[in-house]
Structure 1
Amino acid sequence: MILATQAAEAPATAPAASPYERIGGIAVLRQIADRFYDLMDQDPAYRALRAMHAPDLAPMRESLPNFLAGWAGGPRQWFEANPGKCMMSMHKPFPITRKTANQWADAMACAIADVAPADTEIATALSDVLAQMARGMARD
């Protein structure tokens, strides 16, 4: 009986925050995407990567933060709008090389660092896993 009483009085633990919540939600993901595309568009270090993209980056600026939101445990609008799609299949038609994959990973790491989310642990984890995903798309 003592154990049951103690358990009933013990405070409930709050559910762990999702990576989406920890990174700062859609507002921070939009800042990261905007910074990423600004870097790709303006920094000559990402010229080869930029050349692979359409002249108008606006659709991608809208899509990337929504993808990241759902992927990180937030709203799943991107996945609902793109059933059965994944980043690998969406990028299959593009001639992604190690060079362009590294440029993508580097630009994303810089964008995350520039936005500087408050939770540095999740920011580093996001940067690392996105770099692995980008480099995994290289086909040379």
Structure 2
Amino acid sequence: MTDSFRPPYGEGDGTLQAVGGLSGLQTLVETFYRLMENTPEFRPLFDMHPNNIELTIEKLVAFLSGWMGGERLFSKKFGPISLPQAHAHLVVTEKEKAMWLNCMEAALIELGYQDELRSYLLTQLEFPAERVRQVSAARHGQSD
């Protein structure tokens, strides 16, 4: 399929197609967690995750597949999800939120995604990241 026949980002599965379908998404998420693990500025985020990083990768791929307009793999395999509630046990401040977004940006840059797609994804990811931060602040009584 050529770019001229792809739906725009945010329409149908246009975003998922733009990252290369499920295989491109898998590579993106694996790159994201590799950078998180091996980059000192992102390592604190990696340490917040369970030891079974393979399951974490699988869950993020499954979630992002539906989030990007593709098949809702997360609910099929793991059931319903509330992103803020799934992360509510963690202390997520503005620092961790920025770290997460910066790590995703680094993965997108490393994989050579176009500026337009990177900008779109990071803008869209800002909303769920902020909701996770808000729920964490309410639950843990912290302020940034």
Q: Normalising to structure 2: TM-score of the pair?
A: 0.76
Which residue of 1 is the match for residue 90 of structure 2? 94
Of the candidates 91, 94, 110, which is equivalent to residue 114 of structure 1?
A: 110
Partner of 1:137, secondary structure, is: helix
Of the candidates 1, 15, 20, which is equivalent to residue 19 of structure 1?
A: 15
**Greater RCO (Cα-Cα under 8 Å, separation 6 or more):** 1
Of the candidates 18, 26, 43, which is equivalent to residue 39 of structure 2?
A: 43
> Residues 102 and 135 of structure 1 are in contact (CA less than 8 Å); yes or no, is this contact kept in structure 2?
no
Amino acid at match of 2:7: A
2:79 and 2:55 mapped to 1: Cα distance? Answer: 18
Bigger Rg, which one: 1
2:101 and 2:111 mapped to 1: Cα distance? Answer: 15
Task: Structure 1 unaligned segments of length 5 or more: list them.
Answer: 1-13
Which residue of 2 is the match for residue 135 of structure 1? 130
Task: Structure 2 unaligned segments of length 5 or more: list them.
Answer: 9-13, 138-142
Q: Identity, % of aligned pairs?
A: 25
Aligned residues: 126
Of the candidates 95, 104, 129, which is equivalent to residue 100 of structure 2?
A: 104
Amino acid at match of 2:109: A
Amino acid at match of 1:80: K
Q: Normalising to structure 1: TM-score of the pair?
A: 0.78
> Residues 23 and 123 of structure 1 are in contact (CA less than 8 Å); yes or no, is this contact kept in structure 2?
no
1:70 and 1:41 mapped to 2: Cα distance? Answer: 25
